[in-house]
Structure 1
Amino acid sequence: MDALQGQDPAAEGLQPNMDRNSNNAVIVFQKNLILGKVKTRLAKTIGNEAALDIYRSLINITYSELSQLKDVDILVYLSDYVEELPFDIKGKNYKIFAQKGSDLGDRMKNAFEETLANGYQKCVIIGTDCPDLSMKEIQQAIDHLATHDVVFGPAEDGGYYLLGKKEILPFLMQNINWSTSEVLATSIERLKNEKLSYKLLEKLGDIDTEKDWKNYKLRKANEQLP
């Protein structure tokens, strides 16, 4: 594992001559595991410690899927500072960085910009809040970028759990009302205005509330029944 330890977060980012094992990159936006700073909506009903434990589980699920991908490099962007990952992404070349920017759109734009500047041709960004996101959807996103300008993984709340691009396209990440039901619709409208093509993956749900988590656990338990 190549981790950038002990650096100033403001100075962190991909370096111009970063070694690549692939032309494809998956950018993972993940929060540092800080009590009281993760899954805050979930914590309102189950408490900070239980919310932190659930977030650890969500990260583990995400990493398990990432480890099954082929021909990709994994770039993990932590929310506040660089630290060792809580779990390993088995068998993958991955690096760790700190996010930079004033809001989610700015942080995503900077991550895409750094990644594309280092020679990656297809870039997919995901979070760690969608346990139903499998390597299948991520691989599909990479494959669809061969014939489409942008790929979205639509979320049930009107946002998206995945964004794939070959160019920076900053208009997709600027002046967006994040965490609202208008995010995906606004993004698609902007693409249409620019006459750019897009592909939608399967709609999936994030884990934001206690009800979301309970429904997910119940569904997984039912899937295990004979």
Structure 2
Amino acid sequence: MRQAIIIFTRIPVRGKTKTRMMPHLTPEQCAMLHSCFLRDIVRVCESGNAEIFVSYAPEDGEALRLQKLMGKKKEYLAQRGKTLGERMLHAFEDVFERGVQAAVLIGTDVPEIGESCIRKAFWTLQEKDLVFGRTADGGYYLVGMKKPHREAFGLGEYGHGRVLEETLREIRRAGLSTGFTETLHDMDTPDDLRGFRERMRREERLKKSVTGRYLAKISKISVIVPVYNERKTIESLQKELWPYRILLK
């Protein structure tokens, strides 16, 4: 069975991407963070046997900018449609027209996604019509199917806490079966960023990710240590406050 992963993304452009992170991050840092997400997601997608398609927003620029970041050995498809739902539906239609038999579409706000998550999604599609990956805020970061299902993309509004609930209601009303892969946290806001940093302290995989290394690089904190045994205290603080860097003066 021909399987495909659709990476559904905007092009990382300063001032246009991850804007909800501002002013916690600068426009340049927001664009770089998005680039890090993409690099982590591509690495996970390339670990399997599925074909990789990149569905990008053409209003952000040319596909060449993404090719430099994600590699040329993928097919880049410009998104079509006015609404988010229409764009996702058309992305599936474009891929199935190329002979693919099962496809999963993933967003790019989930740098924590792992190989097991994608494998489980394809396994689920062997028995179910659709598969979803929930986000902790009530949305979804992954949707998969074996043929286009318009019922999954009819919402008039996205970006609220009932997106998955309302989508599932329409799907079940159409008599379609659904399954689920892992629940993950997406990264849209400064609070999401703080949560990711906290999970980095517990999970070595996140520390070693492109996103994790970048966040460790830009995380800084100033600390005044009013004690005589500075070295022992500083070493303890460095361990406690990681990934924030302590600036010593």
Structure having the larger proportion of residues in helix: 2
Q: Could you say what secondary structure the match of 1:65 adopts?
A: helix
2: CA distance, partners of 1:222 / 1:185: 31
Name which of 16, 20, 24 aligns with 2:3. Answer: 24
Give the corresponding residue for 1:75: 53
2: CA distance, partners of 1:23 / 1:176: 32
State the AA in 1 paired with 2:154: Q
Can you give the 5+ residue segments of structure 1 that lack an aligned partner in the other structure? 1-21
CA contact (8 A) 2:11 2:65 kept: no
The superposition leaves residues 46-94 of structure 1 with CA deviations (integer Å, 9 ceiling, x where unpaired) of 2211111211111111111112112x100001112322434345xx952
Superposed CA RMSD in Å reads 2.0
Q: Could you say what secondary structure the match of 2:157 adopts?
A: coil
Q: Report the count of equivalent residues.
A: 202
Q: Could you say what secondary structure the match of 2:165 adopts?
A: helix
Give the corresponding residue for 1:52: 31
**Higher Rg of the two aligned structures:** 2
Q: Could you say what secondary structure the match of 1:167 adopts?
A: coil
CA contact (8 A) 2:12 2:32 kept: no
State the AA in 2 paired with 1:94: K
Give the corresponding residue for 2:225: none
2: CA distance, partners of 1:44 / 1:173: 32
2: CA distance, partners of 1:50 / 1:126: 23
2: CA distance, partners of 1:59 / 1:131: 8
1:1-226 alignment, distance < 5 Å: 23-70=2-49, 72-80=50-58, 81-85=62-66, 86-88=68-70, 93-224=73-204
CA contact (8 A) 1:155 1:205 kept: yes
The superposition leaves residues 105-127 of structure 1 with CA deviations (integer Å, 9 ceiling, x where unpaired) of 11111111111122111010001
Residue 138 of structure 1 deviates from its aligned partner by: 1.0
Give the corresponding residue for 1:8: none
Give the corresponding residue for 1:12: none
State the AA in 2 paired with 1:87: L
Residue 165 of structure 1 deviates from its aligned partner by: 0.7
2: CA distance, partners of 1:98 / 1:136: 28
1: CA distance, partners of 2:90 / 2:168: 21
Q: Could you say what secondary structure the match of 2:69 adopts?
A: coil
1: CA distance, partners of 2:198 / 2:122: 31
**TM-score, normalization: structure 2?**
0.76
Residue 185 of structure 1 deviates from its aligned partner by: 0.5
Can you give the 5+ residue segments of structure 2 that lack an aligned partner in the other structure? 208-249
Q: Is 96-105 or 75-84 further displaced after alignment?
A: 75-84
State the AA in 2 paired with 1:73: E
The superposition leaves residues 150-187 of structure 1 with CA deviations (integer Å, 9 ceiling, x where unpaired) of 00001111110000011211121123421111111111
CA contact (8 A) 1:43 1:50 kept: no
Identical positions, percent: 29
> Aligned in 2, Cα 1:156/1:49: closer, same or farther, shift over 3 Å?
same
